[in-house]
Structure 1
Amino acid sequence: MYQRKRTVIITGGLFLLTLFVMTVSVGVGESGIAPQKVFDILTAGIFGTTPYWSAGEETIVLGIRLPR
């Protein structure tokens, strides 16, 4: 029982770490975009976030950096 709980916690932690690293890495570059803004751009369709970012930032995240 203890081993299973430990495995679930470690797996969950690694999943969250992967999401964090992905969000930060998409924002790093010539036109640095804050991680919170990257997260909001990526989840705008799911959560219905009102866009406060420019169309250029959205294009950079969704059209250039994310596919890489």
Structure 2
Amino acid sequence: MAKLIQVRTKSGNPDRTIRDLVEGNSAYAFLPSPLIFPPMYMLRGTEELADKLREKLGDSASVEVLQDIDE
């Protein structure tokens, strides 16, 4: 089942890293995000995507799995 994943940046610009992970897999997608600073990304993906984001972004962002979403 797909998950709603929220990524809040703390430092730097993780946009490229996030885009590379999301655009490389058709099961993942960007969802509309509020225009706030620092940037926040809302994604549809899996626990695996959340784990990859945590690994790649480290301390520069917080990654939370918020809820299951229907596909």
* TM-score bucket (shorter structure): 0.3 to 0.5
Which structure's CA Rg is the greater one? 1
TM-score (norm 1): 0.33
Report which structure shows greater RCO (CA 8 Å, sep ≥6). Answer: 2
TM-score (norm 2): 0.32
Between Structure 1 and Structure 2, the one with more strand by share is 2
